Every structure is written in structure tokens, then in C-alpha cells.
């Protein structure tokens, strides 16, 4: 019996190009447990959600939401959560600072109407009208 979580997990495994045994190995959980999750015959525990999140390199909250352990968030909230997870995933403070500086520069550019000093919009490659 397919569930929302089993469909979600199957899709995420496809995005990561992982089969059941690879996910089980990365998450350090039994392959039979992965099989039951994909079949929709069991629901994941918080511990299993954390293991799957680590294996798929996703924010744990995203897996918790897919499992129904947390309420859904808006698309905007998911983007913020994903960005936070990516920032936390950098191994060095230097890379975190570079990422933040890039985001700040994009924000300043957007506040100026999205056009750079050359009068071009980098997102669309269109000149300023």
C-alpha cells in the first residue's frame, strides 16, 4: 500500500540515484526496513528519519514533514530550510561567509531592480529598458 512517505522516499531515492540497498547502507539501517518503508507497510521513526536525511543529504525537517511527523510548510519555508541546511553543511566558516556574501549581493542587486552596473539583468540576460 503506497503512502505519501513511500512515494516521497521513492522519488528522493531516484533523485539521488540510490537503490534500496544503497540507501540502507548509507543510512545504516536494515534493507528490509527500507523495503517496508517503500511498500508503505510501516512508518519511519524519528531515528529512521534522521538516518534517511543524512543518507540523502537533506534537512531532517524535510524528512520529518514527508513522514507526517511535522506539519507541512509553505514552499517558501522549504527553500529557507534548504538554504539553511546547505549553509550548515559547509565544512569551513570561509565557505559559509562566501555563500552569505553572495546572497547579500543578490539581494542588493534585486533591490536595485535586478540590473548590474552594465545595465543587464544577469538572471534574464536582458538589458534595462
Question: Structural domains in the chain?
Answer: 4-66 (1.10.260.40), 90-127 (no CATH)
Closest CA to 55 of 25, 85, 34, 31: 25
Q: Report how far residue 102's alpha carbon sits from residue 10's, in angstroms, rounded to the nearest whole number.
A: 33
- pLDDT for 72-83, tens place per residue? 877 777 788 888
Given this model, what pLDDT does residue 129 score?
64
Given this model, what pLDDT does residue 17 score?
96
Q: Report how far residue 43's alpha carbon sits from residue 34's, in angstroms, rounded to the nearest whole number.
A: 10
Prediction pTM value: 0.62
Closest CA to 128 of 115, 112, 110, 111: 115
Closest CA to 66 of 42, 80, 49: 49
Amino acid at each position: 500500500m503506497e503512502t505519501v512517505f513511500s512515494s516521497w522516499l521513492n522519488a528522493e531515492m531516484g533523485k539521488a540515484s540510490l537503490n534500496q540497498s544503497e540507501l540502507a547502507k548509507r543510512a545504516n539501517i536494515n534493507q528490509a526496513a527500507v523495503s517496508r518503508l517503500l511498500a508503505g507497510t510501516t512508518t519511519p521513526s524519528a531515528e529512521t528519519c534522521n538516518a534517511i536525511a543524512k543518507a540523502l543529504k537533506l534537512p531532517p525537517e524535510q524528512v520529518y514533514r514527508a513522514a507526517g511527523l511535522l506539519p507541512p510548510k509553505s514552499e517558501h519555508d522549504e527553500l529557507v530550510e534548504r538554504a539553511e541546511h546547505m549553509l550548515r553543511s559547509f565544512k569551513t566558516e570561509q565557505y559559509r561567509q562566501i555563500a552569505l556574501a553572495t546572497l547579500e549581493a543578490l539581494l542588493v542587486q534585486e533591490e536595485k531592480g535586478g540590473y548590474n552596473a552594465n545595465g543587464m539583468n544577469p538572471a534574464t540576460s536582458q538589458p534595462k529598458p
